[in-house]
């Protein structure tokens, strides 16, 4: 199994085709990418933070994640979602529209609009299993974006220094998380005091910088364990941990189970997260 799925999700920018999947208990560490992301919550509740703003998305609601928006997802109890990632290069006509504008709303409550978008997303998910780059998928995506642009006002993009800073920090951490890092050393790298730097990071990302670094390391360890490359201790140390006690505590915090248990249940959970639920005919 490739470790790419555990890499920082800016790697999605290398993908030229859209992707769709059903997700059970959707959650992810803070990240960003240039692709447009849509999430339809089929049931339950999913919590999201977009550029520091909190959203509680209920069943039947739609969440739009604009390009280069730092976002993270959490499921407090249970959620079932349908996720769509669209590279803007795949839709050049809309790429021009969204180049200098964003949707003015991220959380959509319009029930009829959401149902129609979800129907198109579900159809794309079904078609993807047979022909990933079919003309039909491209057509459904244009319908989805047409529905959104007709019903949700667009507004000019605003460039905020803190947003750009956080994206740069996340890129830096993705490239350096295996090294010895501290709040002070990272703050110095970006020319901020430790207190100011910590405030900006917590506000936009929703966790401390140490929690985020440990999450990156844990995902790297998870990939190595699933590949069977190394023992738990070897994987933890190579990912940047210098204490097994810290590693086990961080792994439990990120995944909710021990490393050995994670390996045991991964295949079943992965199938639930990343493949269509064929027993469900409606979103």
Q: What is the mean pLDDT of residues 276-280?
A: 41
| Contact between residue 263 and residue 225 where contact means Cβ atoms under 8 Å apart | yes
Q: What is the pLDDT of residue 31?
A: 81
Residue 30, token pair as written in the block: 């803070």
Question: For 46-68, how does the pLDDT look when each residue is reduced to its tens digit (9 = 90+)?
Answer: 999 988 889 999 999 999 998 87
Sorting pLDDT into bands at 50, 70 and 90, what band is 6? Answer: very low
Question: For 140-156, how does the pLDDT look when each residue is reduced to its tens digit (9 = 90+)?
Answer: 999 999 999 999 998 88
Q: What is the mean pLDDT of residues 218-224?
A: 88
Question: For 107-117, how does the pLDDT look when each residue is reduced to its tens digit (9 = 90+)?
Answer: 999 999 999 99
Taking the chain, what is the end-to-end CA distance rounded to the nearest angstrom?
A: 30
CA distance 275 to 256: 22
| Contact between residue 8 and residue 170 where contact means Cβ atoms under 8 Å apart | yes
CA distance 38 to 57: 12
Determine which helix (DSSP H) or strand (DSSP E) holds 149, and give its type and residue range.
Answer: helix 135-151
Q: Which residues contact 80 (CB under 8 A, 6 or more apart)?
A: 22, 23, 24, 41, 42, 43, 44, 277
CA distance 65 to 103: 9
């Amino acid at each position: 199994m490739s470790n790419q799925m555990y890499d920082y999700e800016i790697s999605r920018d290398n993908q030229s085709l859209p992707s769709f999947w059903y997700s059970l208990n959707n959650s992810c560490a803070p990240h960003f990418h240039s692709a447009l992301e849509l999430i339809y919550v089929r049931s339950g509740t999913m919590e999201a933070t977009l550029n520091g703003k909190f959203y509680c998305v209920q069943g039947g609601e739609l969440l739009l994640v604009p390009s280069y928006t730092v976002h993270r997802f959490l499921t407090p109890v249970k959620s079932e979602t349908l996720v769509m990632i669209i590279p803007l290069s795949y839709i050049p006509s809309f790429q021009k529209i969204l180049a200098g504008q964003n949707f003015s709303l991220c959380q959509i409550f319009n029930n009829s609009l959401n149902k129609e978008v979800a129907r198109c997303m579900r159809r794309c998910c079904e078609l993807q299993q047979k022909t990933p780059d079919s003309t039909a998928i491209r057509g459904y995506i244009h319908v989805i974006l047409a529905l959104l642009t007709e019903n949700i006002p667009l507004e000019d993009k605003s460039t905020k220094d803190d947003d750009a800073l956080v994206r740069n920090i996340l890129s830096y951490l993705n490239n350096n998380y295996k090294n010895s890092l501290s709040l002070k050393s990272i703050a110095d790298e970006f020319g901020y005091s430790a207190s100011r730097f910590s405030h900006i990071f917590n506000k936009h990302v929703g966790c401390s910088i140490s929690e985020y670094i440990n999450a990156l390391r844990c995902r790297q360890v998870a990939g190595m364990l699933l590949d069977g490359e190394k023992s738990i201790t070897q994987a933890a140390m190579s990912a940047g941990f210098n204490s097994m006690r810290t590693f086990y505590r961080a792994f439990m915090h990120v995944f909710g189970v021990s490393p050995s248990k994670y390996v045991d249940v991964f295949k079943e959970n992965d199938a639930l997260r990343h493949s269509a639920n064929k027993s469900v005919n409606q979103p």
